[in-house]
Amino acid sequence: MGLLTLLTLALTSLSAGIGLVAKNVETASNIPMPLTFLPFIGSAIVRPESMPAGLRWFAEYQPFTPIIETLRGLWLGTGTGSSAAIGLAWCVALTVVGYLWVHRTFTTGAKR
């Protein structure tokens, strides 16, 4: 539950940043759409080993793959290996980037 909560916080902070820079409501709701497709290009459905080379590289190094692998290992009891640390690092990094983006955008917008 902790990993899912941290992932939710990371995606929320990025979405808040997107909402602050969007010009209208439609843009704010459509810009984060590519984030919803990232799990499907990761290891959520198909293992990266069975993918073509370029797609496999992307699937192995995008943020959702280690998170999915960690959750799969925890739920199935197969172990997480290094994917837990990498998944947590991705979540923390995305949260920090989102927070700094929101903080900077909000404070510079308030000074205008």
Residue pLDDT, tens place only, 5-45: 999 999 999 988 888 888 888 888 888 888 888 888 888 88
The pLDDT score that the predictor gives to residue 112 is 53
Tokens 């923390």 appear where?
Answer: 92
Find the radius of gyration of the CA atoms of the chain.
16
First to last CA, the chain: 40
Report pTM.
0.80
| 104 within 8 A of 17, measured Cβ to Cβ | no
Number of structural domains found in the chain: 1
Residue pLDDT, tens place only, 35-72: 888 888 888 888 888 888 888 888 888 888 889 889 88
**Domain range spanning residue 34?**
2-111
| Residue 29: C-alpha distances to residues 3, 5, 16, 19, 36 (Å) | 25, 21, 11, 8, 12
